[in-house]
Chain A
Amino acid sequence: MSMTPTNLPIIPKIRKNAILTLLTKGSRIDERSFDEHRIINAEVNVIPNANGSALVRLGHTKILTGVKAEIGTPFPDTPDEGNLIVNAEFLPHASPVFEPGPPDERAVELARIIDRSLRDVRAIDLNKLVIIPSKKVWNIFIDIYVIDYDGNMIDASSIAALIALMNTRIPLVSIDQSTNEIIIQKDSYQPVPLSKKVVTATLAKITDENTGSRYYLTDPSLEEEIISDTLITIAYSEDGLLTGIQKSGISSIPREDIPKILELTRKLAMKYFDRVKEISSTLLSG
């Protein structure tokens, strides 16, 4: 059963008022402008036993994403496609309000948002993951670990998943014609067939109860997230298509705000793509 959260982190009223007062003056408590995201850094292939991995920092939010490729069997209705499986875990390390145990509804939601953003636009060309049609395919597991939570884990996870996938190596295989056995070649690899790059872009809607003013903040910090009433996430492909949407939170969004939300999220997504490109090029040259 889904329940109104009763254990959310709390923030002092004086701090909340300070944030709101600054918003009325057009600035944020960490001195960012409304449409500015926090600093993004990434390390790749930090997990030697994974086929690909990325540790991404978005401000103080830290996400570790590991990609594993395993040989499996295709689903009967998609005999010529590999499989994509996304899971998310909120480590108890990441926040005083995260408890150990199976993924709760927020972790399930996060994983499903990332999954949907990639799946229908066919960001990963699953047809290229077939080893023996109807029999053997590659299963690509994306496991998202939230290890430090300071707001906006959706975008941080999406960026971490993208960077990890861009740096994933799947072993090359051959098939023994006489025995039909799959032989995994040593030390020769192929990249994940990434046909489109996708990122999510998240805004927090903050309502000043005294004035009724509404603010949409790009890449909310944890404090901003706590005093916000709703998050809106839109996933974009690099060529500008909308590949997923999720409204998350206990409030609503006025219809008239949609054009502004589209403009802000699109701008944010394109900034994320630019930063991912920068990170990739430094990785190549380094």
Chain B
Amino acid sequence: MGVHKPNIKLITEDGVRIDGRRPDQLRPVKMEVGLLKNADGSAYVEYGNTKILAAVYGPRDPGAKHMVLPNRAVLRCRYHMAPFSTHERKSPAPSRREIELSKVIREALEPAVLVENFPRTVIDIFIEVLNADGGTRTAGVTAASLALADAGIPMRDLVAGVAVGKVQGVLILDENEQEDMYGEADMPVAMMPSYREITLLQLNGVLTEEEFNRALEMAMEGIMKIYSIQKEALKKKYAEIEEA
């Protein structure tokens, strides 16, 4: 973001985006649950070319006793980008961005997990970005909450996320990398949809208050769509088990 490269037209006068989408249209979303054998829960999520693999282990014993709390489970979360996930190879060492995103993603999941059911344990959440094309943190939250549900960990609700951006003054849903990089704003949002509770909210860029309010509405509409795909993905897994 903030890179000012002229001669890139991100949206036409008729509101058609570089990948042909309308401003309020999600990319094709794909979700699969329970694809890893060893993890207690796992999920794979695609928002267009953004591809995320999430795994959950726990509730389990943390090993080190000073890392537990007497009244609840401790969540540990790692958001990490694979070296091959970006155009130029990314060093596998955690960047400052990954350190911050691991924190905001953990804090997006904390309100949903019934942590008080599992005192003195730790729940590990691993989010790996396999291919990055914008919206990796929100797709990461969506995938992680599916993996938590797949692990059978009780939750108040699933958490679903999507970002809203602004390109050439137009608010757009679920930006891809180009739209994020050359756009004027990026606002990732995650919610517990059934409660209308916001669990992740960030803004990088500039919006007026009126734009912010519209962007939040757009994000909520996108989140409701993603939420229903999440529920379908979970149901599908258990339907398959029934058949087998």
The residues of A with any CB-CB pair to B shorter than 8 Å are 1-4, 6, 77-78, 105-106, 108-109, 111-112, 116, 119-121, 232, 234, 237, 240-256, 258, 262, 266
Q: In the complex, what residue of chain A is closest to B200 when comparing beta carbons? A: A247
* Cβ-neighbour of B111 out of A78, A250, A256 (below 8 A): A250
Q: Does B232 contact A (CB under 8 A)?
A: no
Q: Does B89 contact A (CB under 8 A)?
A: no
Min CB–CB distance A253 → chain B (angstroms): 5
Task: Please give the number of chain B residues whose Cβ is less than 8 angstroms from any Cβ of chain A in the complex.
Answer: 51
Do A241 and B187 form a contact, CB below 8 Å, given A2-B103, A120-B1?
no
- Whether A108 and B111, one on each chain, are in contact in the complex, defined by CB atoms closer than 8 angstroms, is no
By secondary structure, the B interface counts as mixed
- Whether B103 and A105, one on each chain, are in contact in the complex, defined by CB atoms closer than 8 angstroms, is yes
Q: In the complex, what residue of chain B is closest to A246 when comparing beta carbons? A: B202
Those 9 A-B pairs whose CB atoms lie nearest each other, nearest first: A245-B203, A2-B102, A252-B197, A250-B110, A252-B111, A247-B201, A255-B196, A2-B103, A4-B74
- Whether B198 and A252, one on each chain, are in contact in the complex, defined by CB atoms closer than 8 angstroms, is yes
CA distance A108 to B79 in the complex (A): 15
Q: In the complex, what residue of chain A is closest to B5 when comparing beta carbons? A: A77
* Cβ-neighbour of B103 out of A109, A116, A232 (below 8 A): A109
- 28 A-B residue pairings within 8 Å (CB atoms): A1-B76, A1-B102, A2-B77, A2-B102, A2-B106, A3-B74, A6-B74, A77-B3, A106-B103, A116-B203, A120-B205, A241-B207, A242-B212, A243-B205, A243-B206, A245-B187, A245-B201, A245-B203, A247-B198, A247-B202, A248-B104, A249-B107, A252-B191, A252-B199, A254-B195, A254-B196, A255-B216, A255-B220
- Whether B102 and A254, one on each chain, are in contact in the complex, defined by CB atoms closer than 8 angstroms, is no
Min CB–CB distance B117 → chain A (angstroms): 14
By secondary structure, the A interface counts as mixed
- Whether B67 and A242, one on each chain, are in contact in the complex, defined by CB atoms closer than 8 angstroms, is no
Min CB–CB distance B70 → chain A (angstroms): 10
Q: B103: which A residues are within 8 A, CB to CB?
A: 2, 105-106, 109, 248
* Cβ-neighbour of A248 out of B66, B76, B107 (below 8 A): B107
CA distance A244 to B205 in the complex (A): 6
Question: Of residues B3, B67, B96, B187, which shows the largest number of chain A Cβ atoms within 10 Å of its Cβ?
Answer: B96
CA distance A80 to B67 in the complex (A): 48
Q: Does B68 contact A (CB under 8 A)?
A: yes
Q: In the complex, what residue of chain A is closest to B205 when comparing beta carbons? A: A120
Q: In the complex, what residue of chain A is closest to B183 when comparing beta carbons? A: A120
- Whether B202 and A255, one on each chain, are in contact in the complex, defined by CB atoms closer than 8 angstroms, is no
Q: Does B119 contact A (CB under 8 A)?
A: no
Do A253 and B1 form a contact, CB below 8 Å, given A3-B67, A105-B103?
no
- Whether B216 and A6, one on each chain, are in contact in the complex, defined by CB atoms closer than 8 angstroms, is no
Encode B92-112 as 1/0 by CB contact (under 8 A) with A: 000011011011111100110
Q: B187: which A residues are within 8 A, CB to CB?
A: 245
CA distance A58 to B159 in the complex (A): 36
Min CB–CB distance A275 → chain B (angstroms): 22
Q: A258: which B residues are within 8 A, CB to CB?
A: 198, 213, 216
- Whether A105 and B203, one on each chain, are in contact in the complex, defined by CB atoms closer than 8 angstroms, is no
Q: Does B27 contact A (CB under 8 A)?
A: no
Q: B1: which A residues are within 8 A, CB to CB?
A: 120
- Whether B68 and A252, one on each chain, are in contact in the complex, defined by CB atoms closer than 8 angstroms, is no
Q: Does B204 contact A (CB under 8 A)?
A: yes
Q: Does B17 contact A (CB under 8 A)?
A: no
Q: A266: which B residues are within 8 A, CB to CB?
A: 209
- Whether A120 and B2, one on each chain, are in contact in the complex, defined by CB atoms closer than 8 angstroms, is yes
Q: A234: which B residues are within 8 A, CB to CB?
A: 203
Min CB–CB distance A84 → chain B (angstroms): 10
- Whether B196 and A244, one on each chain, are in contact in the complex, defined by CB atoms closer than 8 angstroms, is no
CA distance A190 to B104 in the complex (A): 39
